[in-house]
């Protein structure tokens, strides 16, 4: 055991010494460190690589060796989001806070006062933020009082409206109420002491509740499917003497485009009833207008028929031709047009009151028939600043409505008709219209109408002027100052009336007296206005009417207001 332990001990000592010797031999103690030096290399000549002959390919290329099959290449593009090692994450959409636009000019309010006790108030509100969906509200009040006894006027309007443009169709509608008030203030010479003439002051007002709605297919030039529309018009109309008119009308059209052809039809049903103190009637019209249209780049021709059926107080059917032509002689500059048609025009209490508010009670209602209506003319543009339209027309009319002073109440007007048995009323004349844009800030427009009447039973076309001219202009002097002007001229007219003095007419009933003709002089009415914008919200306006201070008459015995002016403030928001 002692011997084995000694042998292990000497073996361990010898191994340790060998390890120490090997580790010490890795260090070169004889080598000394010398500093690094930069040696210069001199280039004797440029290096020119020379390929050995054994490496050269001595074979000409074979140009006829064409690959007979092209490999099919496939690409596999991976749709992956890159992950940046910088730690930048995916960008997210930052939601903006809803804010009201800085300036909105869709809405405004106006308030003004003037002479003749004029008071004007107006407000208009429109949502306006979305072109495809709009709703709004409007209201207006205006009243005036002249120098003559009971010469007063008042007007109120209020309504709501909306429009929605959907992908295929557009819906629109309006619900409103209009009221107009006045009085029978007419001045009748020689009637003050005549006991037959009613001299009591009476007031008149008209109430009009209405609704208009429309469904229209949106226009798409790439879509040749069926086009269509549907419209309804309803109103309830009444006056101070319990005369009432109710109307419900629905209309629509269908159109199908086939290459250069359009085939379609217009259809409508208009049902109305009129109730007065002494009568109650119904007046219904049903229309059917089929047509075919040929349309190209420079022409449009429409051929069809107009079938109209009347029912109610009068029952009859009418069939009229319908033809329209429009041809571009010089595209975008000169076009000629013409039409031949016939129609039945419904006489309504509502439209009569809008034209003449001094109606008598128990107005006779009878429809007017256009047996023939021919129009031909030319229209176009001269550059981008001048547009024009001129035409001549000829009409054959049955039962032309005319206003005349009532025999025993000259301040009120009856309605009579030129009802020829053998021939209808002939109306011929010409119409013209121009629009001139002198510059970006000046616009001028004007209209002209000249008519000649040949009647069957009446001597003249009462209260219908042969010449009418209207013109308007708008000038933007600067971004803050705006001017507008308007002129209306109407030629001389004739009135069918009576001499109401006791010395001239000794009868007690003017219905048995012979009528006389009085001339209503021609008149011109000039008006002008100006607006100054203090800032983007507030403005100041002024409006002056009848600048010539002329007490002209549109209807006999009813002089209009003289020079009147009013002004005030408007606010846009």
| Residue-level length of the chain | 573
- Mean pLDDT for 361-374 is 94
pLDDT of 317 higher than 70: yes
Supply the pTM of this predicted model: 0.78
pLDDT of 271 higher than 80: yes
Residue 435 to residue 415: CA distance in whole angstroms: 36
Instruction: Write the pLDDT tens digit of every residue in 123-146.
Output: 999 987 787 899 999 999 999 999
In this prediction, residue 3 has a pLDDT band, given cuts at 50, 70 and 90, of: very low
Residue 106 to residue 125: CA distance in whole angstroms: 7
DSSP assigned state of 377? E
Terminal Cα distance for the chain, rounded: 118
pLDDT of 7 higher than 50: no
Q: For the residues of 31-91, what is the DSSP string, one character each? A: -------PPP----S-------TTT-------TT---SSPPPP-----------TT-----
Residue 192 to residue 308: CA distance in whole angstroms: 49
Domain contains 501: yes
pLDDT at 44: 52
Q: Cα 15 vs. chain centroid, distance in angstroms?
A: 113
Domain contains 163: yes
Higher pLDDT, 565 or 23: 565
Higher pLDDT, 492 or 225: 492
Instruction: Write the pLDDT tens digit of every residue in 170-188.
Output: 999 999 999 999 999 998 8
pLDDT at 75: 46
pLDDT at 198: 64
Q: Per residue, what are the HEC states of 270-288?
A: EEEEEECCCCEEEEEEEEE
pLDDT of 217 higher than 80: yes
In this prediction, residue 22 has a pLDDT band, given cuts at 50, 70 and 90, of: very low
Domain contains 314: yes
Residue that the structure tokens 């910088």 belong to: 86
pLDDT at 1: 44
The structural domain count of the chain equals: 1
Strand 203-217 and strand 169-183: the pairing is antiparallel
Residue 85's CB: how many other CB atoms inside 10 A? 6
- Mean pLDDT for 283-296 is 95
In this prediction, residue 104 has a pLDDT band, given cuts at 50, 70 and 90, of: low
Residue 500: in which H helix or E strand, if any? none
Residue 253: in which H helix or E strand, if any? strand 244-258
Residue that the structure tokens 């000259």 belong to: 410
Instruction: Write the pLDDT tens digit of every residue in 496-534.
Output: 988 877 655 555 566 667 888 999 999 999 999 999 999
Domain contains 270: yes
DSSP assigned state of 109? E
pLDDT of 2 higher than 60: no
Name which of 15-29, 271-285, 390-404, 536-550 the model is least confident about: 15-29
In this prediction, residue 409 has a pLDDT band, given cuts at 50, 70 and 90, of: confident
Domain contains 212: yes
In this prediction, residue 14 has a pLDDT band, given cuts at 50, 70 and 90, of: very low
pLDDT at 205: 97
In this prediction, residue 378 has a pLDDT band, given cuts at 50, 70 and 90, of: very high
Higher pLDDT, 485 or 31: 485
Give the three-state DSSP class for 503: coil
Domain contains 239: yes
User: Contact, 518 vs 556, CB < 8 A?
Assistant: yes
pLDDT of 84 higher than 50: no
pLDDT at 318: 94
User: Environment class of residue 179 by beta-carbon count within 10 Å: exposed (0-12), middle (13-18) or buried (19+)?
Assistant: middle
In this prediction, residue 108 has a pLDDT band, given cuts at 50, 70 and 90, of: very high
pLDDT of 89 higher than 60: no
Can you read off the two tokens belonging to residue 227? 């086009």
Can you read off the two tokens belonging to residue 96? 């903006």
pLDDT at 29: 44
Percent of the chain with pLDDT over 90: 64
Q: CATH code at 256?
A: 2.40.170.20
Higher pLDDT, 194 or 487: 487
Across the chain, mean pLDDT equals 84
Residue 3: in which H helix or E strand, if any? helix 2-24
Domain contains 50: no
pLDDT at 40: 54
pLDDT at 258: 85
Residue 346 to residue 366: CA distance in whole angstroms: 8
In this prediction, residue 325 has a pLDDT band, given cuts at 50, 70 and 90, of: very high
Domain contains 30: no
Domain containing 182: what range?
Answer: 108-572
In this prediction, residue 27 has a pLDDT band, given cuts at 50, 70 and 90, of: very low
Instruction: Write the pLDDT tens digit of every residue in 461-499.
Output: 999 999 999 999 999 998 899 999 999 999 999 999 888
User: Contact, 352 vs 346, CB < 8 A?
Assistant: no
Residue 331 to residue 380: CA distance in whole angstroms: 9
- Mean pLDDT for 231-260 is 94
């Amino acid at each position: 055991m002692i011997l084995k332990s000694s042998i292990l001990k000497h073996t361990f000592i010898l191994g340790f010494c060998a390890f120490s010797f090997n580790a010490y031999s890795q260090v070169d103690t004889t080598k000394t460190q010398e500093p690094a030096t930069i040696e210069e290399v001199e280039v004797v000549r440029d290096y020119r690589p020379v390929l050995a002959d054994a490496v050269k390919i001595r074979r000409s290329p074979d140009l006829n060796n064409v690959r007979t099959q092209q490999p099919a290449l496939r690409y596999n593009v991976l749709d992956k989001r890159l992950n940046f090692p910088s730690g930048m994450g995916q960008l997210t959409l930052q939601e903006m806070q809803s804010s009201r636009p800085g300036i909105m000019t869709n809405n405004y309010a106006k308030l003004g006062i003037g002479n003749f006790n004029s008071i004007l108030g107006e407000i208009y509100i429109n949502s306006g933020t979305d072109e495809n969906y709009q709703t709004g509200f409007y209201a207006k009040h205006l009243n005036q009082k002249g120098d003559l006894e009971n010469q007063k006027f008042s007007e109120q309007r209020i309504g709501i409206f909306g429009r929605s443009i959907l992908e295929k169709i557009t819906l629109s509608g309006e619900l409103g109420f209009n009221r107009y008030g006045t009085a029978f203030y007419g001045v009748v010479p020689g009637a003050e002491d005549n006991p037959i003439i009613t001299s009591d002051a009476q007031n008149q007002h008209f109430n009009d509740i209405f609704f208009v709605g429309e469904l229209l297919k949106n226009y798409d030039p790439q879509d040749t499917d069926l086009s269509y529309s549907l419209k309804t018009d309803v109103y309830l109309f009444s006056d101070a003497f319990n005369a009432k008119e109710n109307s419900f009308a629905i209309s629509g059209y269908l159109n199908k485009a086939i290459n250069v052809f359009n085939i379609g039809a217009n259809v409508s049903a208009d049902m109305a009833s009129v109730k007065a103190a002494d009568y109650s009637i119904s007046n219904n019209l049903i229309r059917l207008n089929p047509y075919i249209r040929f349309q190209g780049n420079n022409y449009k021709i429409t051929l069809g028929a107009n079938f109209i059926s009347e029912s109610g107080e009068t029952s009859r059917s009418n069939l009229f031709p319908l033809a329209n032509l429009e041809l571009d002689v010089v595209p975008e500059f000169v076009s000629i047009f013409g039409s031949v048609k016939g129609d039945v025009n419904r006489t309504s209490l509502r439209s009569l009151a809008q034209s003449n508010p001094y109606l008598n009670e128990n107005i006779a209602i009878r429809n007017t028939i256009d047996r023939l209506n021919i129009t031909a003319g030319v229209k176009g543009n001269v550059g981008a600043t001048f547009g024009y339209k001129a035409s001549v027309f000829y009409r054959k009319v049955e039962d032309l409505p005319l206003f005349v002073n009532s025999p025993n109440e000259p301040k009120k007007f009856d309605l009579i008709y030129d009802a020829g048995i053998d021939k209808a009323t002939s109306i011929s004349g010409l119409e013209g219209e121009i629009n001139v844009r002198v510059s970006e800030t000046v616009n001028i427009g004007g209209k002209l109408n000249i008519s000649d009447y040949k009647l069957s039973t009446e001597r003249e076309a009462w209260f219908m002027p042969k010449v009418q001219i209207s013109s308007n202009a708008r000038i933007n002097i600067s971004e803050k100052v705006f001017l507008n002007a308007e002129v209306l001229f109407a030629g001389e007219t004739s009135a069918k009336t009576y001499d109401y003095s006791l010395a001239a007419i000794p009868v007690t009933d003017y219905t048995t007296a012979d009528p006389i003709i009085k001339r209503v002089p021609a008149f011109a009415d000039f008006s002008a206005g100006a607006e100054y914008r203090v800032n983007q919200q507030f403005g100041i306006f002024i409006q002056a009417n009848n600048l010539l201070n002329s007490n002209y008459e549109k209807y006999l015995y009813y002089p209009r207001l003289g020079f009147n002016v009013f002004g005030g403030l408007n606010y846009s928001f």
